[in-house]
A and B are shown apart, each in its own frame.
Chain A
Amino acid sequence: MATSTGRGSAPAYESTRGSKAGDGRDKTIWLQLLCFLLVLAVWTLVSAVGMVSASALPGPRAVAGELAAMAGTGEFWGALGDTLRGAVAGLAAAIVIGVPLGLVSGTYAAVEQSSRLLVDVLRSFPVIALLPVFLLVLGSTSGMKATVVFIACVFPIFLQAQYGARGVEPMIQETVRGYRIPRLLRFRRVILPSALPSIMTGLRLAATTSVLVAIGVEILTTLPGIGHMVTQEQQSGNSAAAYAYIITAGVIGYSINRLSGVMETRLLRWRPPAQAS
C-alpha cells in the first residue's frame, strides 16, 4: 500500500496500518528525526538568546550533560526506584480491587446502574486534593503515597473492567446460562477474557496516572522520589538537573505507554483483529 502520491494521501482505514511498511516507513523516521532536531534547535535558540531566564529553561546541552552525569549516580536510581515502587504498589492494589469489582458490577445491570452516579462523582474527584487530609491522617509515609496512587488508579481500571464486562455478547451470555455454567467459572473463563481488551486499556491509563500521581505527591511532600528531586534541584539553583529529572519522568511515562501497547498485542493475540478497529 505504498500510496505515497505526494498529495497528502488520504488512505482508507485499513491501509493506514499497511502504508507504514516499506519505504514509507523509512521516510517517516527521517521526518520524525528532523522534527526532533527542529525542536532541539528552537529550544537551544530560545535559551541561548535569553528570551527565558536560564533558571526557567536551561539549554538542551546542559540538561543532556546533567542527565548523563546523573545516570551513573545511585541517587538517581534511588529516586527512580522510590517513585516506581510507590506507583507500582498503588497500581497493583488498584488492579486487585478494581478488576473484580468492575467485572461484577458490569455483569449485573442493576449494580452498574445504581453505582454509576456515585462512581462518576468519585472519579471526577482530583485525588491530589486529598493530600492535605491524608497528610494529617496517615502522615508523610510511603504508604500514604501508595494509597493516593491507588485511589487515582482504581477508577479507570474499575470503569474499563465494567465496560468490558458489559460488552459480553448476549448470545454468549445466553449460552452460559443455558449450560448453567457455575458463576465463578463464568467470571474466570467467559467474562474476564472478553473484558480483557478493555481492562488493558484501563491498565494503560492507570499506569500513566500512577507515575503522575506518585510524582505529584513527591513534589508536595518530603517523600523521596523523582518529584522530590525536581523540587530539590530547582531550589538549589540547578535547573538543568531539575529538567533532567523531568525528562526522566517523561521517559518513564512514554515507556509505560509503549510497553503496555506491546503487552496488549501480546496478550490479546488470540482475538480477531477485526475487533480492534
Chain B
Amino acid sequence: MHIVSNGLVRSFLKQLWLPVVVVAVLWVATARSGSFYFPPLSEMAGALWTGLTEGDLKGDLVFSLRNIALGTVIATVVGVGLGAVIGEYDRLRRATAPLLDFARATPTVAFVPVIILTLGIGAAPKVLLIFIGALWPILLNTISGVHGINPAVRESARSYRIPWRLRLLKVVLPGALPQIFAGVRIALSVAVVLMVVSEIYGSPVGLGNFILRSGSSFQVTDTWAGTILIGILGYGLSLLLLVCEHALLGRYFQRPPRARRAARTHAGHSSDPSHDAVQNADQNADQNEVS
C-alpha cells in the first residue's frame, strides 16, 4: 500500500515539475516586462482574481459555463439515444454512415454567423450551436461503441430473450460506455471552442465577449486573464469528465477488457485515458470508413 502511494506521488511529481518550472520562468521573465502586449504574469493573475471576486468576469463565466453544460447535456442525451438505435440496427447504421460522416466533417463554426445573425445574440442560439457541434462526436462514437460490442455478448442476450429495455441498460449502454465517454470528451472541447467563437461573434456577455471587449479596448492584461481563464475552464472540464469516467468505468481501467488493450498494456503503456481518447476517436473513424 505504501509502495503504491509512493509511486503515485513520484509519478505525479515527475509530471508536475515541468509545468511548475515553465510557470515560474514565465513569472520571472515577465516580471519586469514593459511590453504592452506581454504584461507580467503576476498582473494577469491579479486581474483574473479581481475579475472573479469583484469584477464582472464571474457573470461571464457563469453564462459561458451554463451554455456549455446545457448544450453538451442535450447533445449527450440525443446522441446516445439515437446512437444506440442506429448502432443496434446494422442496416440503419450502414445506410446513415455517409450522411453522418459528412455532418461530422462539416465545421460547426461555419454555422455561427448564420445562426447568430438570424436567431439573435441571446443564450439560446449559443446552446443550439453547442448542441449541433457536440452532437456528432457523441452520436458517432455511440454508434461505433454499440456496434463494437462483442457479437457473442449480443447473441447470448438475444438467445436469452432479454427484454429490450434491460438489454439497453445492462448490455448495450455499458458496453458502449468507454466509446461514449471518448465522444463526450471530444464534444466538450468542441463545445468550448463554439462557446468562444459564438461569444466573440455576437454576445453581450460571456468569456468570449470578455476577451473581445478587453482586447478591443486595449486592456491587454484583462485579455490575457480571460484567455487564461478559458484555458483553465477547458482543462477543468476535461478533468471533471475524467473523474466521472474513472468513477463509472473503474473496471475498465483496472483490467483490460479487450485483447487490444491487453496488447497495449503489455507493450509497457499504462492505460492512459487521454491517449485512449485520440486512439478511440481514430478507431471510430476507422470503423466508419469500413462501413
What is the interface of chain A, defined by CB distance below 8 A to chain B? Answer: 8-13, 16-17, 20, 28, 31-32, 34-36, 39, 53, 55-56, 110, 113-118, 120-121, 124-133, 135-137, 156, 159-160, 163, 166-167, 169-170, 201-202, 204-205, 208, 211-212, 215-216, 219-220, 226-227, 230-231, 234-235, 239, 242-243, 245-247, 249-250, 253-254, 256-257, 261, 276
CB distance from B111 to the nearest CB of A (A): 7
> A31 CA to B193 CA in the complex, in Å?
35
Please indicate the chain A residues that have their CB under 8 angstroms from the CB of B105 in the complex.
208, 250, 253-254, 256-257
> In terms of DSSP, what is the predominant structure of the interface of chain A?
helix
Please indicate the chain B residues that have their CB under 8 angstroms from the CB of A125 in the complex.
230-231, 234-235
A234 touching B285 in the complex, CB below 8 Å, given contacts A10-B154, A28-B94, A159-B278: no
The interface stretch among B50-58, B174-182, B220-228 is B220-228
Please indicate the chain A residues that have their CB under 8 angstroms from the CB of B216 in the complex.
132
A120 touching B235 in the complex, CB below 8 Å, given contacts A32-B94, A129-B230: yes
Please indicate the chain A residues that have their CB under 8 angstroms from the CB of B235 in the complex.
120-121, 124-125
The interface stretch among B74-82, B195-203, B247-255 is B195-203
Q: Could you list 20 further interchain pairs (A-B, Cβ under 8 angstroms) beyond the known A127-B193, A245-B110, A254-B102?
A: A10-B151, A16-B290, A28-B95, A53-B118, A110-B14, A114-B15, A117-B16, A121-B235, A124-B234, A128-B196, A129-B208, A163-B278, A166-B268, A219-B201, A230-B110, A234-B113, A239-B114, A242-B113, A247-B106, A257-B105
CB-based contact B114/A9 at 8 Å: no
Residue of A whose beta carbon sits closest to that of B155: A10
A-B contact count (CB 8 A): 212
Chain B 274-291: CB-based contact to A (< 8 A → 1; otherwise 0)? 110011011001100111
Please indicate the chain B residues that have their CB under 8 angstroms from the CB of A136 in the complex.
37, 215, 218, 220, 223
